[in-house]
């Protein structure tokens, strides 16, 4: 399998196939380019298969690491690096000694042959502290501005010397000057001089800010030193079409200047976007000082519109004014219209089938950054019928065969969003850098099964926006309404009545739900899954349903039905409060190893008009993203044991608690592994007679926490991650107290295989 000659022969055979495939790719692209060239479009580049990529067998052979041969040079180099580190932390007189143990033994006392163990002994010595800190400014014109900011200095007298702090101070000063017009200032213009010849363990630090260096002339490359120049913005140019080459040398056919704006749009073709809209998102101003933060805010605001593939901001010294900059903002447009087909195989909670979505998206519909999305979603599944016997001995009976693909579901969803705040959000001062986007969403959902037909109609109006630092994302939906109408067969009505489960019954009665909701998401880093630093993530969701309607009907003396409920359009409306909270922390252990913790909870409290939560607002647990040792909606509530029940039903509740821990590590180039443990459960807030031990009790709930664990494989394909998790129950709350751990119950027989796209959290 690993013979070099065999590997080489197989690689040559693969490369021959690559040559054939690449030739076809080039031929196809050339055909397309001949048509594109006639239309004046950009020519395509063929995406060729690389022969440099290792084969599968080569990847397998590269698993692991070669043994490290002991080298005294490397051992000395390590000691030197340790001394340098201690020195950088203020331990100038440190000492690092090392020795080799050639008789390394195992825990059983046996000698490990041909293995050495290195021992390093670190003697840091006394630390040195900062006694004096002074400045030397070669550029006197910058002095007033510079000294006005020294109050924010990171270097403090009396603190231990730390080279890392000196570097941070250099970066801080550079950023400060870049935000005050000094476009060409760099960290290289700041130097330190450290004098340790002081009485006691003290150092004196001198910070020198040097003059700007440039060549004397184009013909003479000798350096001259001059004062730093403070720059202002001269002209602001915006280009919203593809460009190639040096932007300053391109001749554009037309220029558009929006009214009351100091921005010029350069273009050859008619503008695809409203110039006034884009100008509002440009924070840079003509004649204003160059401020780096303002340039970054402009970049983020334009990218936040969601209509550009990329935004590049370039500055050049003006040919007319020596202390001014010309700004070029180059916006690369996204494809305006797109159609996406998504398909997914369903295998959850015993339900199997296929799910598909056809998504049409039109960006910049009216040239103002508006986005229209039309999504048609359908599903064909085989679901377990409510009331089906779990112990049907005849798997080929007619009743079992009729279960095959017994559910048909289809529904369109239309979303229209605009990059600004509408009423009532327009009453608040949302700035463009907060990326406000108002959305309108409406949808229909039709579900047909052998025993019932259900229709759901929904409408939602809301606003999403971000904080200026992009760490917080907010979403407010003051108005959402959806109506659920179900038509049941007589036999199915009888089966539901026999179950006598209020939660389940409520999912099949007609009801209207009106919502006001808001959510806040905080992430200390935008790229939390790939960040090399610790990332904290918090999500909160709160919603209220039916309160305004209830009070309105109450004040106006509206009649109630026989159950004491107010009705809207002849249908009782939901009435509840609900909150959810989730916290995650991502801790990098190395470049590709990570430890992730997650804790989540939620509670829903019903109020006067409807005694139970709507089915779609109830909590459930289990499945590929929560407690993976149980299928979705098969755990809980509490310590309820469904073993003696003759029917299947979804486990739902009013209260949720979950916790997860997962260790992620690399296996191969694109294959990653995981070891995880999940815990949690759901509960009812009220006691239900046919669900004993299902209610939440302070003195019992912690005993009813389910525990599962397992291992996982993740295949990172760059554009998506395929995930397989294998989990087994470790503690199952359905068993009697004292017998809930599954060590003696052969838990591996209950292994649950979860398939997912992306990470679980």
- Tell the residue number behind the tokens 């590997």, with chain if given: 7
First to last CA, the chain: 38
Task: Determine the pLDDT at residue 649.
Answer: 62
DSSP per-residue letters across 96-148: EEEEEESS-B-TTS-B-TT--EEEEEEE--PPPEEEEEEEEES-GGGHHHHHH
Task: Determine the pLDDT at residue 651.
Answer: 80
**Three-class DSSP labels, 351-395:** EEEEEEEEEEEEECCCCCCCEEEEEEEEEEEECCCCCCCCCCCCC
- Domain final residue, candidates 475, 499, 523: 499
Task: Indicate the number of domains in the chain.
Answer: 5
pLDDT exceeds 70 at position 298 = yes
Whether residue 704 contacts residue 627, with contact meaning beta carbons closer than 8 Å, is answered with no
Please check whether residue 613 lies inside any domain of the structure: no
Whether residue 187 contacts residue 174, with contact meaning beta carbons closer than 8 Å, is answered with yes
Phi, psi (deg, nearest 5) at residue 15: -65, -35
User: For 274-285, how does the pLDDT look when each residue is reduced to its tens digit (9 = 90+)?
Assistant: 888 889 889 999
Please check whether residue 426 lies inside any domain of the structure: yes
The residue among 673 and 35 whose pLDDT is bigger is 673
Task: Determine the pLDDT at residue 404.
Answer: 47
User: For 389-435, how does the pLDDT look when each residue is reduced to its tens digit (9 = 90+)?
Assistant: 444 434 333 344 344 456 788 899 999 999 888 888 878 878 877 88
Based on the fold, state whether residues 319 and 382 are members of the same structural domain.
no
pLDDT exceeds 60 at position 550 = yes
Task: Tell me whether strands 535-545 and 721-731 are parallel, antiparallel or unpaired.
Answer: unpaired
Task: Determine the pLDDT at residue 276.
Answer: 87
DSSP per-residue letters across 583-605: EEEEEESSSS-EEEEEEEEEEEE
Whether residue 651 contacts residue 683, with contact meaning beta carbons closer than 8 Å, is answered with no
Based on the fold, state whether residues 442 and 379 are members of the same structural domain.
yes
Rounded mean pLDDT of 612-635?
Answer: 85
- Tell the residue number behind the tokens 């990847």, with chain if given: 59
pLDDT exceeds 90 at position 63 = no
306 Cβ contact partners less than 8 Å away, ≥ 6 residues apart: 334, 363, 369, 371, 419, 437
pLDDT exceeds 80 at position 527 = no
The CA distance from 194 to 134, in Å, is: 11
Based on the fold, state whether residues 161 and 93 are members of the same structural domain.
no
Token pair for residue 433?
């850098």
Least confident of 14-18, 38-42, 46-50, 71-75: 38-42
Based on the fold, state whether residues 134 and 237 are members of the same structural domain.
no
302 Cβ contact partners less than 8 Å away, ≥ 6 residues apart: 278, 281, 282, 308, 311, 329, 331
Burial bucket for residue 360 (CB in 10 Å: 0-12, 13-18, 19+)? middle
The CA distance from 407 to 100, in Å, is: 71
Based on the fold, state whether residues 262 and 297 are members of the same structural domain.
yes
Tell me what percent of the residues of the chain surpass a pLDDT of 70: 86
Q: Which domain holds residue 409?
A: 356-499
The CA distance from 653 to 603, in Å, is: 9
Task: Determine the pLDDT at residue 392.
Answer: 41
Task: Determine the pLDDT at residue 236.
Answer: 93
b/e burial code for range 671-689 (CB count within 10 A of at least 16 → b): ebebebbbbbbbbbeeebe
The residue among 34 and 56 whose pLDDT is bigger is 34
**Half-sphere CA count of 632, side-chain side, radius 13 A:** 13
Q: Which residues pair with 716 in a beta bridge?
A: 721
* 317 closest CA partner among 330, 302, 328: 328
Rounded mean pLDDT of 232-259?
Answer: 88
How crowded is residue 434: how many other Cβ atoms within 10 Å of its Cβ?
19
Rounded mean pLDDT of 380-395?
Answer: 47
Task: Determine the pLDDT at residue 348.
Answer: 43
For residues 5, 7, 9, 12, the Cα torsion angle rounded to the nearest 10 degrees is -140
The CA distance from 191 to 174, in Å, is: 12
Based on the fold, state whether residues 209 and 238 are members of the same structural domain.
no
The CA distance from 577 to 24, in Å, is: 61
The CA distance from 757 to 761, in Å, is: 11
The SS3 of residue 496 is helix
Task: Determine the pLDDT at residue 522.
Answer: 94
Based on the fold, state whether residues 382 and 251 are members of the same structural domain.
no
Please check whether residue 511 lies inside any domain of the structure: no
Token pair for residue 182?
């000094």
Task: Determine the pLDDT at residue 38.
Answer: 63
Task: Determine the pLDDT at residue 137.
Answer: 93
Based on the fold, state whether residues 369 and 471 are members of the same structural domain.
yes
Asked whether the whole model's pTM tops 0.75, one would answer no
The CA distance from 692 to 709, in Å, is: 27
Please check whether residue 423 lies inside any domain of the structure: yes
Least confident of 307-311, 630-634, 729-733: 630-634
Whether residue 645 contacts residue 698, with contact meaning beta carbons closer than 8 Å, is answered with no
Whether residue 694 contacts residue 504, with contact meaning beta carbons closer than 8 Å, is answered with no
Based on the fold, state whether residues 119 and 134 are members of the same structural domain.
no
Please check whether residue 634 lies inside any domain of the structure: no
Rounded mean pLDDT of 60-72?
Answer: 66
Rounded mean pLDDT of 668-678?
Answer: 90
Average pLDDT, the chain: 83
The CA distance from 594 to 531, in Å, is: 10
Whether residue 213 contacts residue 241, with contact meaning beta carbons closer than 8 Å, is answered with no
pLDDT exceeds 80 at position 70 = no
Task: Determine the pLDDT at residue 237.
Answer: 94
Please check whether residue 660 lies inside any domain of the structure: no
For residues 507, 614, 628, 520, the Cα torsion angle rounded to the nearest 10 degrees is 150
Q: Is 724 left (phi over 0), alpha (psi -120 to 50) or beta?
A: beta
- Tell the residue number behind the tokens 């039916």, with chain if given: 546
The residue among 24 and 92 whose pLDDT is bigger is 92
Based on the fold, state whether residues 490 and 397 are members of the same structural domain.
yes
DSSP per-residue letters across 527-546: STTT-SS-EEEEEEEEEEES
Burial bucket for residue 368 (CB in 10 Å: 0-12, 13-18, 19+)? middle
Residue 248: which CATH number?
A: 3.10.20.310
Rounded mean pLDDT of 647-673?
Answer: 86
* 606 closest CA partner among 594, 619, 587, 596: 619
Whether residue 505 contacts residue 543, with contact meaning beta carbons closer than 8 Å, is answered with no
Based on the fold, state whether residues 118 and 142 are members of the same structural domain.
no
The residue among 156 and 650 whose pLDDT is bigger is 156
Token pair for residue 672?
């990653």
Task: Determine the pLDDT at residue 402.
Answer: 41
The CA distance from 92 to 433, in Å, is: 47
* 435 closest CA partner among 302, 562, 295: 302
Please check whether residue 681 lies inside any domain of the structure: no
Whether residue 545 contacts residue 497, with contact meaning beta carbons closer than 8 Å, is answered with no
The CA distance from 448 to 488, in Å, is: 10
Whether residue 226 contacts residue 212, with contact meaning beta carbons closer than 8 Å, is answered with yes
Task: Determine the pLDDT at residue 499.
Answer: 67
User: For 120-153, how does the pLDDT look when each residue is reduced to its tens digit (9 = 90+)?
Assistant: 999 999 999 999 999 999 998 999 999 999 999 9
User: For 463-493, how does the pLDDT look when each residue is reduced to its tens digit (9 = 90+)?
Assistant: 999 887 888 999 999 999 988 888 888 877 7
Based on the fold, state whether residues 463 and 379 are members of the same structural domain.
yes
* 452 closest CA partner among 400, 403, 410, 493: 493
User: For 189-236, how does the pLDDT look when each residue is reduced to its tens digit (9 = 90+)?
Assistant: 999 999 988 888 999 999 999 988 876 555 556 677 888 899 999 999
**Half-sphere CA count of 316, side-chain side, radius 13 A:** 13
| CA-based torsion, 341, 342, 345, 349: positive or negative | negative
- Domain final residue, candidates 289, 318, 333: 333
Task: Determine the pLDDT at residue 425.
Answer: 82
Whether residue 558 contacts residue 549, with contact meaning beta carbons closer than 8 Å, is answered with no
Q: Is 726 left (phi over 0), alpha (psi -120 to 50) or beta?
A: beta
Long-range contacts of 468-475 (CB under 8 A, 24+ apart): 468/297, 468/431, 468/433, 468/434, 470/300, 470/526, 471/522, 471/523, 471/524, 472/520, 472/521, 472/522, 473/520, 473/521, 473/522, 473/523, 474/518, 474/519, 474/520, 474/521, 475/518, 475/519
Please check whether residue 390 lies inside any domain of the structure: yes
Whether residue 666 contacts residue 593, with contact meaning beta carbons closer than 8 Å, is answered with yes
Burial bucket for residue 522 (CB in 10 Å: 0-12, 13-18, 19+)? middle
Rounded mean pLDDT of 512-527?
Answer: 89
Q: Confidence class of residue 347 from pLDDT cuts 50, 70 and 90? A: very low
Token pair for residue 538?
């918090």
User: For 694-740, how does the pLDDT look when each residue is reduced to its tens digit (9 = 90+)?
Assistant: 889 998 899 999 999 999 999 887 777 888 889 999 999 988 888 88
Provide the residue count of the chain. Answer: 761
The CA distance from 429 to 516, in Å, is: 21
Whether residue 386 contacts residue 492, with contact meaning beta carbons closer than 8 Å, is answered with yes
- Domain final residue, candidates 194, 226, 258: 226
Task: Determine the pLDDT at residue 614.
Answer: 83
pLDDT exceeds 90 at position 596 = yes
The SS3 of residue 454 is strand
């Amino acid at each position: 399998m690993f013979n070099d000659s065999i590997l080489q022969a197989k690689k040559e055979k693969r490369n021959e196939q690559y040559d054939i495939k690449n030739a076809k790719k080039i031929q196809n692209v050339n055909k397309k380019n001949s048509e594109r060239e006639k239309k004046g479009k950009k020519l395509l580049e063929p995406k060729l298969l690389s022969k440099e990529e290792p084969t599968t067998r080569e990847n397998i052979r590269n698993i692991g690491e070669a043994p490290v041969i002991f080298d005294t040079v490397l051992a000395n180099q390590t000691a030197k690096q340790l001394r340098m580190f201690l020195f950088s932390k203020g331990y100038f007189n440190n000492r690092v000694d090392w020795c080799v143990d050639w008789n390394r033994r195992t825990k059983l006392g046996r000698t490990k042959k041909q293995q050495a163990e290195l021992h390093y002994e670190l003697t840091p010595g006394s630390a040195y502290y900062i006694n004096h800190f002074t400045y030397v400014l070669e550029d006197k014109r910058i002095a007033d501005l510079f000294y006005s900011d020294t109050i924010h200095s990171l270097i403090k007298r009396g603190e231990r010397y730390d080279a890392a702090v000196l570097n941070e101070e250099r970066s801080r000063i550079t950023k400060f000057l870049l935000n005050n017009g000094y476009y060409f200032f760099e960290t290289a213009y700041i130097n330190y001089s450290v004098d340790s010849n002081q009485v006691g363990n003290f150092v004196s630090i001198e910070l020198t800010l040097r003059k700007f260096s440039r060549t004397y002339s184009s013909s003479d490359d000798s350096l001259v030193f001059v004062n730093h120049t403070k720059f202002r913005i001269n002209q602001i140019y915006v280009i919203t079409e593809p460009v190639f080459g040096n932007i300053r040398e391109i001749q554009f056919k037309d220029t558009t200047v929006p009214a009351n704006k100091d921005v010029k749009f350069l273009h050859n073709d008619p503008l695809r976007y409203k110039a006034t809209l884009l100008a509002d998102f440009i924070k840079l101003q003509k004649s204003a000082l160059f401020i780096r933060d303002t340039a970054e805010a402009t970049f983020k605001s334009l990218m936040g519109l969601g209509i550009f593939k990329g935004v590049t901001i370039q500055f050049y010294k003006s040919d007319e004014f020596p202390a001014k900059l010309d700004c070029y903002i180059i916006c690369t447009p996204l494809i305006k219209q797109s159609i996406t087909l998504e398909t997914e195989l369903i295998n959850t909670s015993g339900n199997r089938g296929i799910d598909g979505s056809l998504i049409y998206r039109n960006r910049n519909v009216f040239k103002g950054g508006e986005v229209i999305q039309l999504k048609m979603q359908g599903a064909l599944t085989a679901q377990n019928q409510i009331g089906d016997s779990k112990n049907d001995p005849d798997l080929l009976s007619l009743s079992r065969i009729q279960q095959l693909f017994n559910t048909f579901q289809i529904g369109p969803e239309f979303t229209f969003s605009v990059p600004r705040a509408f009423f009532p959000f327009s009453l608040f001062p949302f700035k463009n850098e907060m990326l406000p986007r108002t959305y309108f969403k409406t949808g229909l959902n039709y579900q047909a099964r052998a025993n019932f037909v259900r229709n759901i109609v929904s409408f939602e109006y809301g606003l999403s926006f971000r904080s200026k630092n992009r760490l917080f994302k907010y979403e407010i939906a003051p108005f959402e309404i959806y109506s659920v109408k179900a038509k049941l067969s007589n036999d199915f009505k009888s089966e539901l009545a026999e179950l006598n489960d209020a939660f389940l019954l409520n999912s099949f009665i007609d009801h209207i739900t009106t919502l006001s909701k808001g959510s806040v998401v905080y992430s200390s880093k935008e790229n939390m899954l790939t960040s090399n630093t610790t990332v904290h993530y918090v999500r909160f969701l709160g919603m209220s349903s039916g309160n305004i309607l209830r009070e309105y009907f109450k004040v106006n003396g509206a009649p109630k039905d026989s159950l004491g409920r107010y009705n809207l359009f002849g249908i009782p409306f939901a009435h509840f409060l609900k909150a959810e909270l989730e916290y995650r922390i991502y801790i990098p252990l190395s470049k590709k190893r990570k430890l992730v913790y997650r804790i989540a909870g939620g509670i829903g409290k019903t109020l006067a008009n409807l005694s139970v939560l709507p089915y779609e607002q109830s909590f459930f647990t289990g499945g590929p993203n929560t407690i993976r040792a149980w299928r979705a909606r098969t755990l809980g509530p509490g310590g309820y044991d469904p073993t003696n029940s003759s029917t299947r039903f979804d486990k739902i509740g009013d209260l949720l608690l979950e916790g997860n821990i997962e260790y992620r590590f690399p296996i191969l180039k694109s294959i990653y592994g995981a070891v995880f443990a999940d815990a949690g459960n759901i509960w009812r807030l009220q006691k239900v007679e046919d669900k004993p031990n299902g209610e939440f009790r302070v003195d019992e709930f912690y005993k009813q926490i389910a525990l599962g664990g397992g291992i996982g494989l993740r295949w990172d394909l760059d554009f998506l991650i395929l995930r397989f998790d294998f989990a087994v129950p470790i503690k199952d709350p359905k068993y009697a107290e004292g017998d809930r751990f599954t060590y003696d119950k052969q838990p591996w027989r209950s292994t649950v295989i979860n398939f997912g796209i992306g990470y679980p959290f």
